[in-house]
Amino acid sequence: MVANKPYQAYKQNSVNTASPGELTVLLFNGCLKFIKLAKMAIDENNVEQRNTNLIKAQDIIQELMVTLDMKVELSTSLLQMYDYLYRRLIEANTKNSVDILNEVEGYVVEFRDTWKQAVQLAKKPQLVESGQA
């Protein structure tokens, strides 16, 4: 476990120093991780692991929902989409469905990639101002 501690420290530092946009990308990455683990659990017929991982994915989607700034017009649409993903994760869990998880995974990848682009675009002016571009 000693070899794991530097990685854990790096990971914790990454989270502590991340911008809100970077944290959102990390949340989407976590959601994708748990969806993939749930799909593996379905393949292995491991109901407990499927349930555990899908609940973690649902928790992440809920976190994304509660952190929306509802003063921003786009947030209403995002809330509806996040709610849809949340309900589909529940359905995938109850129906033991990899197909539903593939659908949700596709949307989460699109959200994550869009956030990654937004974070990169937000950093560009900072890089230009500091002479690093």
At residue 131, does pLDDT exceed 90?
Answer: no
Q: Give the per-residue pLDDT at 10.
A: 47
Q: Left, alpha or beta for 131 (phi > 0: left; psi -120 to 50: alpha)?
A: left
Confidence of residue 5 (pLDDT cuts 50, 70, 90): confident
DSSP class of 79: H
Question: Per residue in 6-65, pLDDT tens?
Answer: 656 545 555 566 788 999 999 999 999 999 999 999 999 999 999 999 999 999 999 999
Q: Strand, helix or coil at 55?
A: helix
CB atoms within 10 A of CB 74: 9
**CA torsion through residues 84, 90, 95, 101, sign:** positive
CA 117 to chain centre: 15
Token code pair at residue 71: 């003063």
Q: What is the pLDDT of residue 50?
A: 98
| pLDDT for 124 | 73
pLDDT digits (tens, 9 = 90+) for 79-104: 999 999 999 999 999 999 999 999 99
pLDDT value at position 75?
94
Predicted pLDDT at 130 = 55
| 15 against 71, higher pLDDT | 71
Instruction: Specify the amino acid at residue 72.
Output: V
